[in-house]
Structure 1
Amino acid sequence: MKTYRLQFEQNLPIPLAESWDFFTSPLNLAKITPPTTGFEVTSPFDVKSKVYEGMIITYKIKPLFGIKMDWMTEITHIKDQQYFVDEQRFGPYALWHHEHHFKAIDGGVHMADILNYAIPYGVIGRLSNSLLVRKKILKIFAYREKMINGLFGIYRR
């Protein structure tokens, strides 16, 4: 199985505790995900819900061609105000391992996302990644960066 790795970094002009609070709320993910993905958290969380190790999060998504799918991830690791990891348990990928890292910096917080993923279906999956999937993921994270800047401002140090 061919795996792929993408890394995204962004600085925010807010305290570490504020960024941690926002990004560990499962419901906030929908606020920074493009509407075109049809992303909807279907787990019965409220606005006070925070991720914890072992937490299962279910979603509806439209990853490609507007086809609605179920997706399930598990929060597998957390180190308070440093990182958490979500891994797919069921969904469109053969592998989805997404690390979210946070580090206090002068005047804000540095965030890094490390995503390792794989597409099923062998050669067809590799071709699909080259033509569609990688570009779609890059667009999602570009949208995410824009939305995060809109919510918290642009880091200017």
Structure 2
Amino acid sequence: MIYTIETDQTLHRPLDDVFPFFADAGNLEAITPPELRFSIATPLPIEMRPGALIEYRLTLYGIRFRWLTEISVWEPGVRFVDQQLLGPFALWHHEHRFSSTGSNSTRIQDTVHYALPLDPFGRLAHPLVRRQLDRIFDYRTEQVDALLGGQP
């Protein structure tokens, strides 16, 4: 079964400030909950482009995972998509969209489509996984607000 997460955030910063922050994979550690022990294994800086591969390490439910994603779409200032090639999910497709909502305001919209492995057990575990993903995205929103300027 494929599940979806959607988030929407507006910052008091121009798009020209916001997009480069998200385009720098090195900023992921700052916006990821510390309990995940998230780290980027790919040497930095990473040239963001279609086909770029980024390898991470993280801990979920006490288990250390290797996560490999590919940037499948790269439209600077507009959107990018990362897709899991190897990791804890059966499917992970994350689209990040950016739009200017004024001279000093940027809207960030994320859509994640994901599926859990080991169906039907994945379906049984989904409520627990969904709570964790909601926590991760809530933390990310809080950290982005703190680092880049918050809500209007």
**1:129 equivalent in structure 2:** 126
Whether 1:29 aligns to 2:28 is yes
* Structure 1 length-normalised TM: 0.93
Match of 1:149 among 145, 148, 152: 145
Following TM superposition, the consecutive aligned residue runs of length 4 or more in structure 1 with deviations greater than 4 angstroms are none
Whether 1:69 aligns to 2:65 is yes
- For residues 119-140 of structure 1, the C-alpha deviation after alignment (integer angstroms, 9 at most, x for no partner) is 011111011112x110000000
Match of 1:52 among 49, 52, 63: 49
SS of the residue aligned with 1:9? strand
Q: CA deviation at 1:50?
A: 4.1
Q: CA deviation at 1:155?
A: 2.7
Q: CA deviation at 1:79?
A: 1.3
Question: Aligned partners of 2:47 and 2:23: how far apart in 1?
Answer: 5
Q: CA deviation at 1:52?
A: 1.0
SS of the residue aligned with 2:120? helix
**1:11 equivalent in structure 2:** 10
Match of 1:116 among 109, 113, 116: 113
Contact 2:5 2:111 in 1 (8 A): yes
Q: What are structure 1's unaligned runs of at least 5 residues? A: none
Q: CA deviation at 1:54?
A: 0.5
- For residues 16-42 of structure 1, the C-alpha deviation after alignment (integer angstroms, 9 at most, x for no partner) is 011110001111111100001111000
Question: Aligned partners of 1:69 and 1:84: how far apart in 2?
Answer: 24
SS of the residue aligned with 2:21? helix
Q: What RMSD, in angstroms, separates the aligned Cα atoms of the two structures?
A: 0.9
Question: Aligned partners of 2:73 and 2:149: how far apart in 1?
Answer: 29
Percent identity reads 36
SS of the residue aligned with 1:36? helix
Say how many residue pairs are matched: 151
Contact 2:57 2:65 in 1 (8 A): yes
Letter paired with 2:6: Q
